[in-house]
Amino acid sequence: MQVKLGIKEIEKILPHRHPFLLVDCITELEPGVRAEGYKAVSFDESYFRGHFPDEPVMPGVLIIEALAQTGAVAILSQEGNAGRTAYFGAVDHARFRRKVVPGDRLRLVCEIEKVKGPVGKGKATAYVEDEKAVEAELTFILGK
């Protein structure tokens, strides 16, 4: 479902704040099922000063975190989950397919595949243009 959630709306769903909120907007949301959003990768991100400064590359773990935050928006938007926190349970089968560099617009997609009690799994993919940059299976645990 097409939606437009900006930073203020995302902050009402997620506990993350600058500089660790890694999703700029959500453009599609089906609560409990799927979310899609974007992260504009800017040269002035603090991690670029120390992560390959001569050839700035967005750290893979931060791309995974951005994907997890996108999935958390999907889960926490579901009725009954407002105000809860989605924690990492596991990251499986992560594959890094291309570098993400300043100037890239990272499209973040997370589809929730299974939920049983407070534990769920999702398939997450990050794209630059239409090219896969990262894919992984994410497990989350809902806390209070």
User: What residues are annotated to the active site?
Assistant: 51
Cα dihedral 95/98/104/110 (nearest 10): -20
Q: CB of 56 within 8 A of CB of 43?
A: yes
Q: CB of 36 within 8 A of CB of 108?
A: yes
**Structure tokens that stand for 15 in this block:** 């506990």
Q: CB of 136 within 8 A of CB of 124?
A: yes
